[in-house]
Structure 1
Amino acid sequence: MERHPNPDMDEYAGVLDRRLEALFLDGIFVGLAVLGLGYLAGMLFADSGIGGMFLAMSFGAPVALLGYQVGMEGYYGQTLGKHLRGIVVVSRDGSDLTWGKAVVRNLLRIVDALPAFYVVGVAAAYVTDDHQRIGDLAGQTVVVHTTD
Protein backbone atom coordinates (compact mmCIF):
# COMPACT_ATOMS: atom_id res chain seq x y z
CA MET A 1 0.00 0.00 0.00
CA GLU A 2 1.58 3.25 -1.11
CA ARG A 3 1.64 6.28 1.10
CA HIS A 4 -0.91 8.87 -0.03
CA PRO A 5 -2.16 7.42 -3.33
CA ASN A 6 -3.12 9.82 -6.12
CA PRO A 7 -6.65 11.18 -5.65
CA ASP A 8 -9.11 11.65 -8.49
CA MET A 9 -10.67 14.94 -7.35
CA ASP A 10 -13.35 14.68 -10.03
CA GLU A 11 -14.91 11.52 -8.59
CA TYR A 12 -16.19 11.62 -5.02
CA ALA A 13 -16.78 8.29 -3.33
CA GLY A 14 -20.39 7.18 -3.06
CA VAL A 15 -22.03 7.06 0.34
CA LEU A 16 -23.62 3.63 0.52
CA ASP A 17 -21.28 1.74 -1.75
CA ARG A 18 -17.51 2.11 -1.47
CA ARG A 19 -17.44 4.03 1.81
CA LEU A 20 -19.82 1.67 3.58
CA GLU A 21 -18.04 -1.36 2.15
CA ALA A 22 -14.68 0.01 3.32
CA LEU A 23 -16.05 0.62 6.83
CA PHE A 24 -17.45 -2.91 6.91
CA LEU A 25 -14.10 -4.40 5.82
CA ASP A 26 -12.21 -2.31 8.38
CA GLY A 27 -14.63 -3.47 11.09
CA ILE A 28 -13.92 -7.08 10.18
CA PHE A 29 -10.12 -6.57 10.21
CA VAL A 30 -10.12 -4.76 13.55
CA GLY A 31 -12.74 -7.07 15.06
CA LEU A 32 -10.72 -10.18 14.23
CA ALA A 33 -7.54 -8.61 15.63
CA VAL A 34 -9.30 -7.55 18.84
CA LEU A 35 -10.96 -10.96 19.24
CA GLY A 36 -7.62 -12.72 18.84
CA LEU A 37 -5.79 -10.42 21.24
CA GLY A 38 -8.66 -10.57 23.75
CA TYR A 39 -8.66 -14.34 23.62
CA LEU A 40 -4.88 -14.47 24.20
CA ALA A 41 -5.09 -11.95 27.04
CA GLY A 42 -7.94 -13.92 28.61
CA MET A 43 -5.91 -17.13 28.41
CA LEU A 44 -2.78 -15.51 29.86
CA PHE A 45 -4.28 -13.43 32.64
CA ALA A 46 -7.72 -14.79 33.52
CA ASP A 47 -7.51 -18.42 32.45
CA SER A 48 -10.61 -17.77 30.34
CA GLY A 49 -10.02 -16.98 26.69
CA ILE A 50 -13.72 -16.52 25.98
CA GLY A 51 -14.19 -14.00 28.80
CA GLY A 52 -11.21 -11.99 27.59
CA MET A 53 -12.58 -12.09 24.08
CA PHE A 54 -15.96 -10.65 25.13
CA LEU A 55 -14.32 -8.01 27.32
CA ALA A 56 -12.03 -6.98 24.47
CA MET A 57 -14.92 -6.71 22.01
CA SER A 58 -17.02 -4.66 24.43
CA PHE A 59 -14.40 -2.14 25.46
CA GLY A 60 -11.38 -2.58 23.20
CA ALA A 61 -12.96 -2.76 19.75
CA PRO A 62 -14.32 0.81 19.58
CA VAL A 63 -11.02 2.26 20.80
CA ALA A 64 -9.01 -0.01 18.50
CA LEU A 65 -11.16 0.91 15.48
CA LEU A 66 -10.75 4.63 16.17
CA GLY A 67 -6.99 4.26 16.63
CA TYR A 68 -6.70 2.14 13.50
CA GLN A 69 -8.64 4.64 11.39
CA VAL A 70 -6.70 7.66 12.66
CA GLY A 71 -3.36 5.90 12.28
CA MET A 72 -3.95 4.48 8.82
CA GLU A 73 -5.57 7.63 7.43
CA GLY A 74 -2.99 9.90 9.04
CA TYR A 75 -0.10 7.94 7.55
CA TYR A 76 -1.49 6.52 4.29
CA GLY A 77 -4.60 8.60 3.64
CA GLN A 78 -6.63 5.39 3.62
CA THR A 79 -7.40 2.33 5.68
CA LEU A 80 -7.07 -1.21 4.34
CA GLY A 81 -10.78 -1.23 3.56
CA LYS A 82 -10.51 2.06 1.64
CA HIS A 83 -7.45 0.72 -0.19
CA LEU A 84 -9.37 -2.40 -1.25
CA ARG A 85 -12.30 -0.27 -2.44
CA GLY A 86 -10.08 2.22 -4.33
CA ILE A 87 -10.83 5.35 -2.30
CA VAL A 88 -8.68 7.79 -0.35
CA VAL A 89 -9.26 10.63 2.14
CA VAL A 90 -7.68 13.95 1.20
CA SER A 91 -7.88 17.54 2.34
CA ARG A 92 -10.60 19.61 0.70
CA ASP A 93 -8.04 21.17 -1.67
CA GLY A 94 -6.76 17.75 -2.80
CA SER A 95 -3.57 17.78 -0.73
CA ASP A 96 -2.52 14.85 1.46
CA LEU A 97 -4.46 14.31 4.66
CA THR A 98 -2.75 15.69 7.77
CA TRP A 99 -2.69 13.96 11.14
CA GLY A 100 -4.83 16.70 12.66
CA LYS A 101 -7.52 16.31 10.02
CA ALA A 102 -7.44 12.54 10.44
CA VAL A 103 -8.05 12.95 14.18
CA VAL A 104 -10.90 15.45 13.73
CA ARG A 105 -12.76 13.48 11.04
CA ASN A 106 -12.52 10.24 13.00
CA LEU A 107 -13.40 11.63 16.43
CA LEU A 108 -16.61 12.96 14.92
CA ARG A 109 -17.59 9.45 13.83
CA ILE A 110 -19.36 9.42 17.20
CA VAL A 111 -21.71 12.15 15.93
CA ASP A 112 -21.99 10.59 12.46
CA ALA A 113 -23.01 7.26 13.99
CA LEU A 114 -25.99 8.77 15.84
CA PRO A 115 -28.65 7.71 16.58
CA ALA A 116 -27.60 4.33 15.15
CA PHE A 117 -26.10 2.86 11.99
CA TYR A 118 -24.47 6.14 10.85
CA VAL A 119 -27.84 7.80 10.17
CA VAL A 120 -26.51 11.34 10.74
CA GLY A 121 -23.37 10.72 8.68
CA VAL A 122 -25.24 9.14 5.78
CA ALA A 123 -27.84 11.94 5.78
CA ALA A 124 -25.11 14.59 5.80
CA ALA A 125 -23.26 12.85 2.98
CA TYR A 126 -26.42 12.78 0.87
CA VAL A 127 -27.22 16.47 1.29
CA THR A 128 -23.69 17.81 0.69
CA ASP A 129 -22.43 18.20 -2.85
CA ASP A 130 -19.16 16.37 -2.16
CA HIS A 131 -20.70 13.54 -0.08
CA GLN A 132 -19.13 14.78 3.16
CA ARG A 133 -20.26 13.45 6.51
CA ILE A 134 -20.06 15.61 9.66
CA GLY A 135 -16.48 14.47 10.35
CA ASP A 136 -15.44 15.41 6.82
CA LEU A 137 -17.06 18.84 7.08
CA ALA A 138 -15.32 19.57 10.41
CA GLY A 139 -11.98 18.19 9.22
CA GLN A 140 -12.27 19.85 5.80
CA THR A 141 -11.74 16.53 4.05
CA VAL A 142 -13.31 14.58 1.18
CA VAL A 143 -13.27 10.92 0.19
CA VAL A 144 -12.48 10.41 -3.49
CA HIS A 145 -11.54 7.60 -5.83
CA THR A 146 -7.87 6.90 -6.49
CA THR A 147 -6.39 7.28 -9.96
CA ASP A 148 -4.66 3.88 -9.70
Structure 2
Amino acid sequence: MATQHGHARRAGNTDTLGARIVAYFIDSIIASVIGGGLALVGFIFGGLLGSVSEGLGALVMLFTFALAFAGAFGYKVYFEANGGQPFGKQMMDIRVVMDDGGECTWGAAIIRNLLLGFEGGLIAVIVILVTDDNQRVGDLLGSTVVVKA
Protein backbone atom coordinates (compact mmCIF):
# COMPACT_ATOMS: atom_id res chain seq x y z
CA MET A 1 0.00 0.00 0.00
CA ALA A 2 1.44 3.40 -0.93
CA THR A 3 1.42 6.15 1.66
CA GLN A 4 1.56 9.89 1.72
CA HIS A 5 5.34 9.48 2.09
CA GLY A 6 5.53 7.63 -1.23
CA HIS A 7 6.79 4.27 0.01
CA ALA A 8 5.17 0.96 0.81
CA ARG A 9 4.47 0.05 4.41
CA ARG A 10 5.36 -3.40 5.67
CA ALA A 11 3.81 -3.05 9.12
CA GLY A 12 0.63 -5.09 8.62
CA ASN A 13 -3.13 -4.60 8.59
CA THR A 14 -3.90 -1.11 9.91
CA ASP A 15 -7.70 -1.38 9.61
CA THR A 16 -8.12 -1.11 13.39
CA LEU A 17 -10.25 1.97 14.15
CA GLY A 18 -13.05 0.22 16.07
CA ALA A 19 -10.60 -1.89 18.07
CA ARG A 20 -8.49 1.21 18.79
CA ILE A 21 -11.49 3.07 20.22
CA VAL A 22 -12.42 0.20 22.54
CA ALA A 23 -8.76 -0.30 23.55
CA TYR A 24 -8.45 3.44 24.24
CA PHE A 25 -11.34 3.32 26.71
CA ILE A 26 -10.03 0.19 28.43
CA ASP A 27 -6.52 1.61 28.73
CA SER A 28 -7.86 4.99 29.88
CA ILE A 29 -9.74 3.30 32.71
CA ILE A 30 -6.62 1.39 33.76
CA ALA A 31 -4.46 4.53 33.55
CA SER A 32 -7.06 6.45 35.58
CA VAL A 33 -7.07 3.78 38.27
CA ILE A 34 -3.26 3.86 38.45
CA GLY A 35 -3.12 7.66 38.51
CA GLY A 36 -6.09 7.99 40.84
CA GLY A 37 -4.69 5.43 43.25
CA LEU A 38 -1.36 7.21 43.42
CA ALA A 39 -3.10 10.58 43.82
CA LEU A 40 -5.21 9.20 46.65
CA VAL A 41 -2.11 7.98 48.46
CA GLY A 42 -0.58 11.44 48.00
CA PHE A 43 -3.69 13.14 49.28
CA ILE A 44 -3.74 10.96 52.41
CA PHE A 45 -0.02 11.30 53.18
CA GLY A 46 0.00 14.98 52.25
CA GLY A 47 -2.93 15.59 54.55
CA LEU A 48 -1.29 13.71 57.40
CA LEU A 49 2.00 15.51 56.96
CA GLY A 50 0.16 18.79 56.45
CA SER A 51 -1.07 18.58 60.04
CA VAL A 52 2.60 18.65 61.08
CA SER A 53 3.90 21.09 58.46
CA GLU A 54 1.84 22.75 55.74
CA GLY A 55 4.89 23.11 53.51
CA LEU A 56 5.89 19.46 53.85
CA GLY A 57 2.31 18.30 53.26
CA ALA A 58 2.02 20.44 50.14
CA LEU A 59 5.38 19.18 48.86
CA VAL A 60 4.35 15.54 49.37
CA MET A 61 1.04 16.17 47.59
CA LEU A 62 2.78 17.88 44.68
CA PHE A 63 5.32 15.07 44.36
CA THR A 64 2.65 12.38 44.55
CA PHE A 65 0.38 14.06 42.00
CA ALA A 66 3.38 14.28 39.63
CA LEU A 67 3.99 10.59 40.32
CA ALA A 68 0.29 9.88 39.64
CA PHE A 69 0.52 11.61 36.26
CA ALA A 70 3.73 9.73 35.45
CA GLY A 71 2.11 6.43 36.47
CA ALA A 72 -0.97 6.98 34.31
CA PHE A 73 1.09 8.21 31.34
CA GLY A 74 3.81 5.62 31.88
CA TYR A 75 1.38 2.70 31.82
CA LYS A 76 0.71 3.02 28.09
CA VAL A 77 4.24 4.12 27.21
CA TYR A 78 5.81 1.18 29.04
CA PHE A 79 3.63 -1.47 27.40
CA GLU A 80 3.77 0.10 23.95
CA ALA A 81 7.58 0.20 24.14
CA ASN A 82 7.66 -3.41 25.40
CA GLY A 83 5.64 -5.42 22.93
CA GLY A 84 3.25 -2.73 21.69
CA GLN A 85 0.25 -3.86 23.73
CA PRO A 86 -1.13 -2.22 26.83
CA PHE A 87 -3.96 -4.34 28.26
CA GLY A 88 -6.71 -2.72 26.12
CA LYS A 89 -4.82 -3.29 22.89
CA GLN A 90 -4.02 -6.83 24.00
CA MET A 91 -7.73 -7.50 24.61
CA MET A 92 -8.60 -6.09 21.18
CA ASP A 93 -5.76 -8.03 19.49
CA ILE A 94 -3.99 -4.96 18.12
CA ARG A 95 -0.54 -3.54 18.77
CA VAL A 96 1.62 -0.51 18.15
CA VAL A 97 4.61 -0.99 15.84
CA MET A 98 6.98 1.30 14.00
CA ASP A 99 5.73 2.14 10.51
CA ASP A 100 8.36 -0.19 9.01
CA GLY A 101 6.98 -3.10 11.08
CA GLY A 102 9.66 -3.03 13.79
CA GLU A 103 8.99 -2.96 17.52
CA CYS A 104 7.73 0.34 18.93
CA THR A 105 10.57 2.28 20.54
CA TRP A 106 10.49 4.19 23.83
CA GLY A 107 10.82 7.50 22.00
CA ALA A 108 7.97 6.70 19.63
CA ALA A 109 5.75 5.54 22.50
CA ILE A 110 6.41 8.77 24.40
CA ILE A 111 5.73 10.96 21.35
CA ARG A 112 2.49 9.21 20.38
CA ASN A 113 1.13 9.33 23.95
CA LEU A 114 2.14 12.94 24.60
CA LEU A 115 0.23 14.02 21.53
CA LEU A 116 -2.87 12.02 22.45
CA GLY A 117 -3.69 14.60 25.10
CA PHE A 118 -3.65 17.37 22.50
CA GLU A 119 -5.48 15.57 19.71
CA GLY A 120 -8.73 14.86 21.44
CA GLY A 121 -10.96 11.94 20.53
CA LEU A 122 -12.81 13.35 17.52
CA ILE A 123 -9.73 14.92 15.96
CA ALA A 124 -7.82 11.64 16.35
CA VAL A 125 -10.64 9.67 14.70
CA ILE A 126 -10.85 12.12 11.79
CA VAL A 127 -7.09 12.00 11.21
CA ILE A 128 -7.15 8.19 11.39
CA LEU A 129 -9.92 8.11 8.78
CA VAL A 130 -8.10 10.39 6.31
CA THR A 131 -4.56 8.97 6.49
CA ASP A 132 -3.45 6.09 4.30
CA ASP A 133 -2.32 3.89 7.19
CA ASN A 134 -5.01 4.91 9.69
CA GLN A 135 -2.61 6.98 11.76
CA ARG A 136 -3.43 9.77 14.17
CA VAL A 137 -1.12 12.78 14.58
CA GLY A 138 0.85 11.05 17.36
CA ASP A 139 1.41 8.05 15.09
CA LEU A 140 2.57 10.25 12.23
CA LEU A 141 5.06 12.14 14.39
CA GLY A 142 6.19 8.98 16.19
CA SER A 143 6.41 6.96 12.94
CA THR A 144 4.09 4.30 14.36
CA VAL A 145 1.03 2.42 13.20
CA VAL A 146 -1.51 0.31 15.06
CA VAL A 147 -1.91 -3.10 13.43
CA LYS A 148 -3.85 -6.28 14.01
CA ALA A 149 -1.67 -8.49 16.19
TM interval, short-chain normalised? 0.7 to 0.9
Match of 1:98 in 2: 105
Code of the residue aligned with 2:88 in structure 1: it is: G
1:59 shift after superposition: 6.9
1:112 shift after superposition: 1.7
Give the number of equivalent residue pairs.
130
Structure with greater Cα Rg: 2
Q: Deviations over 1:70-116 (max 9, x none)?
A: 11111221211111110001111111111121122122213322xxx
Q: Deviations over 1:30-59 (max 9, x none)?
A: 212233333333333315xxxxxxx9xx87
Q: Aligned match of 1:14 in 6, 13, 16?
A: 16
**Could you tell me the TM-score, scaled by structure 1's length?**
0.73
Q: Which has the higher strand share?
A: 1
Which consecutive aligned stretches of 4+ in structure 1 deviate over 6 angstroms post-superposition?
Answer: none
Alignment RMSD (CA, Å): 3.0
Counterparts of 1:82 and 1:138, CA distance in 2: 20
Counterparts of 2:98 and 2:37, CA distance in 1: 34
Unaligned runs of 5+ in 2: 1-9, 49-61
Counterparts of 1:110 and 1:40, CA distance in 2: 24
Match of 2:41 in 1: 40
Percent identity of equivalent pairs: 36
SS in 1 for 2:33: helix
Counterparts of 1:46 and 1:132, CA distance in 2: 44
